[in-house]
Amino acid sequence: MKADELLAVFDDAAKAARAALEPLAGAARRERTGRPGQYALDLVADAAVLPILHEAGVAVVSEESGRSGRDDAAITVILDPVDGSTNCSRDIPYWSVSLCAVDAEGPLCALVTNQATGVRTTAVRGSGAWRDGEPVTPSAVRRLEDAVVSFSGTPQQRLSWKQLRSLGSAALELCDVASGALDA
């Protein structure tokens, strides 16, 4: 399967995850499972995405459900159906679906979609990365003292960065670094 075909499958998967979560509101959005750190909405999105990926003939490694799909698949998709689950559970518009296809040579292509805004970031091995169809350009900031830095969690040490953000979706934060919205 080629990268453009996989990205089309990923778009379908992102739409399915978003549609599956739309009916959840209030307490239903905040419901937890018995697994630490997992929301029920994670499993809802996972269940919506997996059939689409399996039909494409790929193996899947999901943060929520582990490995599934064909054992002999040439491509494995790494999936986080809701990256930023707490944000999603609280209607904070910074959460995503994250998918990356890996073959024998490594990462082939990836899609991260901010499910709250629809902003879509893609990458293809050897061809670059794009945000909503435009090539991404990282920040020109080179000094930590001038940088807006994002962390997942709390940094153990305060460095001399200009500003600190903890936005709650590592996939989106990495895309924001690639596109220059964040410096690091």
For the stretch 95-153, pLDDT in tens is: 999 999 999 999 999 999 999 999 999 999 999 999 999 999 999 999 989 999 888 77
CA atoms within 13 A on the CB side of 48: 23
Q: What is the Rg, in whole angstroms, of the alpha carbon atoms belonging to the chain?
A: 17
For the stretch 7-33, pLDDT in tens is: 999 999 999 999 999 999 999 999 999
Residue with tokens 């410096």: 183
- Over residues 37-50, mean pLDDT: 96
pLDDT-based confidence at residue 179 (cuts at 50, 70, 90): very high
Q: pTM for the complete prediction?
A: 0.91
For the stretch 80-97, pLDDT in tens is: 999 999 999 999 999 999
pLDDT-based confidence at residue 182 (cuts at 50, 70, 90): very high
